[in-house]
Amino acid sequence: MATNRSAGGGGLGTRLLGTRLLDYLESKKNLAGSACGIVGLGLTLTGVAGTYWPVVVAGLYGAGALIAPPRRPAPPEPEGPTEQLNGVREQFGRLREYVAEVELPAPAEGRLAELMELYGALLEPGWVADVLATDPESVHALSRAIELDVPECVDTYNRTRWWTRLTPGGESPERHLERQLSLLHEEAERVTADLREAEARRQQTHTTYLEERGQRS
């Protein structure tokens, strides 16, 4: 068994070495070095290099390889709609864990629960999420709200409430929190309305197509 593993490991190492060698042979460094090496061979044939021609050829090859621009790494492939939405779902999962640990006044807590329910319905895997994934602006709006806005609302409320206990007076932090959550809920409703409108347009387009097809036949 050990012999088989060694043989397998040796074969893998050989393949990796061959791949690296092939990559280098196709690299700009090797091409530039080879071009300079050919110049060295030309000097050798004309007698310029003399008896030191191997040193001249090797030196010109090395110089060409050094001055050649390095290989640029391939740019990362942009995330597709599915990957982006999966990222938002992960953010939403972390947000759920965060808000479960905080205590909020009853009105704000109810508003936050409604907001979280709406986010969850939009992100639930299925045809609704598939429609959402086709609208990058809506995905961005949800991602921003889930990752930044909601945690900021809760965090600033807790901090402001602590200071208010020391120095009472001024506008209630609870009122600010309720207003912030209401604005975020309105934004989520606009996202929902936009998606619903897109589906309505799709339905109308199909109706028009069927009507026109019926008239042609």
Q: What is the CA radius of gyration of the chain?
A: 33
Tell me if 42 is assigned to some domain.
Answer: yes
Same domain, 54 and 100: no
pLDDT of residue 88: 93
- Asked which of 12, 39, 69 is the last residue of a domain, the reply is 69
pTM for the whole thing?
Answer: 0.62
Tell me if 5 is assigned to some domain.
Answer: no
Same domain, 90 and 185: yes
Q: 170 — alpha (psi -120 to 50), left (phi > 0) or beta?
A: left
Q: Do 154 and 98 contact (CB within 8 A), yes or no?
A: yes
Whole-Å CA distances, 20 to 13, 15, 26, 27, 170: 11, 9, 10, 10, 69
Same domain, 142 and 57: no
Tell me if 89 is assigned to some domain.
Answer: yes
- What parts of the chain have a pLDDT lower than 70? 1-33, 35-37, 39-57, 59-61, 63-81, 169
- Asked which of 69, 93, 123 is the last residue of a domain, the reply is 69
Same domain, 55 and 153: no
Instruction: Give me the domain span that covers residue 180.
Output: 81-216
pLDDT of residue 172: 85
pLDDT of residue 44: 64
How far apart, in whole angstroms, are the C-alpha atoms of residue 50 and residue 27? Answer: 30
Same domain, 128 and 56: no
For the chain, the maximum distance between any two Cα atoms, rounded to a whole number of angstroms, is 96
Same domain, 171 and 193: yes
Same domain, 109 and 157: yes
Same domain, 63 and 98: no
Same domain, 193 and 146: yes
Same domain, 94 and 144: yes
Same domain, 88 and 141: yes
Amino acid at 37: G
Give the count of domains, the chain.
2
Tell me if 64 is assigned to some domain.
Answer: yes
Same domain, 50 and 138: no
